[in-house]
Structure 1
């Protein structure tokens, strides 16, 4: 990163005597110094794409625009390297601010409510697709690219090449956001420990089946129990070993742990891609017009249903029994680096955004040859899960243009958004941040060559399993208002102040209070909530799909699979 910045600074000095606004010379210098062969385009195609940006940007030369994103490695690269290159090539100065994810949402909310143009473009999670589609305060990109944005839409943008557009498309079929980074939450485990002959033998003798990647939560629980407290000093492991890692502090990040698809992993909600219909993983039911009709079981929702209660109960149990004692008091950010310290056997819910920081040389979880001692695989599912349900979360940070942004500023920002997602730069950007957005990048030969250093990341993104991981969908009518309810209520269950059932009863009631206010206000028009009348739970349990009644036995037969066989099946 620092080397790249130095190179870019040198380029800037070299161009000091050039005309006020740089042209193809700057583009060629950028391609030489930064991109090289790391692109799906040939050098000739790269230059042609850069020439288009130069020509399209001409009316906006000298403009200074402001954009914002959360602070992760990918966006640091965009802000520190690509924004500078874009300015040198097009003459448009970009101030790409990096702030916390919650702060991004707050700024966007303020702009929505005030109409004041705070930023010319936002990298905003696609979790807000239901919000954007209902409030209609962002430009839908389908109409934008055919209308006011037509002259500044690249002929090589190739929207079909983006793997996350189903996440950013509303029920009206319009594209509302353009992904610029994506990462999934997957199962993470110590491949070396799982393949150790003594561990395999001991596990087989104790549990009666093979140690491997858990397919269901019953197997995950057995593995967590097996490794917790196990003496692995013969493998060079110092200190206590734990079979699970998680976090439980009453903090906004606790909400992400659950809204980011933990409930769907357990089996809450309905079958459907990218999200369950009519009931999604938040437990919110919609009618045939995509209007929210309830969250509690009494209105046909599933937020407080048996599957959701099972999900929270298991999370708390595993956190207490099989995790480091400090985990209950940790936030997302504090818990994230712990597996890389070398004493965790597995983690059900691990974001692939941590990959770049978990493959650094010298870590206890890395081999001397640069390959990891760990692997990532599909997350196991709970006893309520059914084939066809989503099984995990995928973050899709996406470029979002507000209607309150003046047209010329939105046009200039749209050029920048396309530049940082262009085929010219995307392979290099993906090598830096490991947050894939394009199919062509995923299939690039450079990632075939690097795959064995990334613990299964490349294999996952090339696999057919990928479609079962998705962000929050369109059932959620106001993400900012509803998301804050989760950490507050589930935090009560984590602390023991309430039982999981009591906490989820409170959560669904709070969600329905928001839905009722939106219904009364009518601000979302025909797309807003229309709550069902309350009925006895047995009525809804008797209907097809979610909510499901409580199972008499929530312990199913444990199933594991060989990681190597799993990868082989994907490759075939």
Structure 2
């Protein structure tokens, strides 16, 4: 059933209105939409829907407003699940879809003004450091034991969620409830990488086997090898990326690019005391610096190396138009069939990569491409963060009236309920529940998803994490990244100059937070600046410049890698 039909079904349910808020509305929804794509039996599904009906009774007739970024999963929630929830519970939900940067801006406005802009935000758990310090969102742990207790599904089963750590503070309180998540992995054309003629030619030219690159040295060789070739009648490029000076360019780098290069300290889920943003904290998670002069690593040799490699590959091995593209514009390009590999690829694009008739799909429904762990840079060492995972999560602000927050909380639980989560996972392929990814329907579908199911069934899935606790004010600091990296990407500044400016601006924001005292004992306490060499001489980040930033290239056969995941 296509999305348009599903949307129509949802609208028909919604038109039934609050008067039809009973189990019959739920049965219509279950018949038309869920079927056997649920970890629950039909009897269990109806029991869960009855709980929602009963819990919503005192709130029936209310209208609430929810906002999220525009990705396939949230489109499904907005077009299908929100109308179904309305029909089943009698609570009218308007689920707006806007850009990710706009979501953060709206949330920041509500934080600053105290006015209730939205009753619930579905935004990244990247803001955990912000929420924990400002205490302007309801922490779910206390909420579920207090004002939200009567509206908390007894079968919510938090232990089934795979991304709770990303939304949990050092106080062991859960600040957001994950509703979708996707990892940043490596994407490549498996059919080309296993073509005997191409493999032999690569072996002859580079002296080692063509395979999944383990480090950036191999990635660069492969990018150079494929760029300019003609395969299947079109010119091929060995890399895909984007470079427009736009908020999404900031995510391209805050989403762990520096730690993938090796700029951070060891430690999972985030480097400690220096994280993937290059921000150093003390033992109490109070930020103490971003520049090397204060012990940070945002402008360190490893960070400069990371930016320079990005620019080099963007200029030399990527379609020229990519330099003017945003995240959303660049995402679908590999599906057009002329990209050999992509280092920085989000699994959120999987749903759009497996559509019938695409140049990257076989006639039998299997993909010509695969996904694998991203390779690491020259400064990376075992124990450092390996990659980023976006965890989009339901967030309830303290400034939202209690009854509206209770209604929004019911909606949040509905869209991740065991009744609907497996079906939603099939639509958007952004897993939040272990039970869904292990459902037999995904065992059957796994060969068509290029390694996604194997990744999410492996222990590796917990090693990819979102922005951590070191970032004290995500909305203010994140906007500095795209502006400064854009200067480097456009050639207006060198990578070193851009990162020097970035770390200084981050420290200026943190200094204002320190002076204001708004974050209390959790806020920044900046170190006194001193010669950067002092910190370069200390163990860990920031690390001194390597004499050789292109070590021996290493590759691995995809089949060997996937076997590790399966074991």
Q: Same fold (TM over 0.5)?
A: yes
Aligned to 1:172: 171
Residue of structure 2 equivalent to 1:203: 202
The match for 1:370 is: 365
Task: Using the TM superposition, give the Cα deviation of residue 568 of structure 1 relative to its aligned residue in structure 2, in angstroms.
Answer: 1.2
Residue deviations 1:2-36 (CA, integer Å, cap 9, x gap): 111233345556x57xx824211111121111111
CA deviation string 1:108-145 (max 9, x = no partner)? 11111111111111101111111111111000000000
Cα separation, partners in 2 of 1:307 and 1:238, compared to 1, 3 Å: same
Corresponding residue number in structure 1 for 2:45? 46
- Residue in 1 that maps onto 2:318: 323
- Kept in 2, the 8 Å contact 1:273–1:467? The answer is no
CA distance in 2, matches of 1:468, 1:203: 32
**Does the 8 Å CA contact 1:293/1:531 hold for their aligned counterparts?**
yes
Counterpart check, 1:212 vs 2:208? no
CA RMSD of aligned residues (A): 1.2
Moved more, 374-383 or 459-468: 459-468
Moved more, 388-397 or 409-418: 388-397
The corresponding residue for 2:9 is 7
Corresponding residue for residue 561 of structure 1: 556
Mapped contact 2:10–2:79 kept (Cα < 8 A): no
Change (3 A) 1:12 1:245: closer
Q: Which residue of 1 aligns with 2:453?
A: 458
Pairing 1:23-422 to 2, within 5 Å after superposition: 23-232=22-231, 237-422=232-417
Residue-by-residue CA offset, 1:468-494 (whole Å, 9 max, x unaligned): 211111100001110111111111111
Q: CA, structure 1 residues 58+509, in 2 after alignment: closer, same or farther (shift >3 Å)?
A: same
Unmatched 5+ stretches in structure 2: none
User: Which stretch of the first structure deviates more once superposed, 207-216 or 45-54?
Assistant: 45-54
SS at structure 1 position matched to 2:309: helix
1:378-403, CA deviations, whole angstroms, 9 ceiling, x for partnerless residues? 00000111112111111111000000
**Contact 1:21 1:61 (8 Å CA) reproduced:** no
1:455 alignment partner, SS class:
coil
How far residue 54 of structure 1 moved from its aligned partner, in angstroms, is: 1.0
Cα deviation, 1:293-313, whole Å, max 9, x if unaligned, reads 000011000000111011001
Tell me, yes or no, if the aligned pair for 1:389 and 1:468 is still in contact at 8 Å: no
In 1, the alpha carbon distance for the partners of 2:329 and 2:8 equals 31
CA deviations 1:420-467 (Å, max 9, x no partner) are 010110000000111100111111111110011111111111122222
Distance 2:379 2:28 in 1: 56
Q: Structure 2 vs 1, CA of residues 12 and 65 (structure 1 numbering), >3 Å: closer, same or farther?
A: closer
Task: Decide whether the 8 Å contact of 2:9 with 2:80 is kept in 1.
Answer: no
TM value normalised by structure 2: 0.98
Q: The residue matched to 1:56 in structure 2 has which SS?
A: helix
* 1:208-260, Cα deviation, whole Å (9 max, x unpaired): 1110000000000110111111232xxxx222111111111222111111001
Q: Distance in 1 between matches of 2:495 and 2:463?
A: 26
**Alpha-carbon contact 1:242-1:323 (below 8 Å) kept:** yes
The yes-or-no answer on 1:499 pairing with 2:494 is yes
Which residue matches 2:541? 546
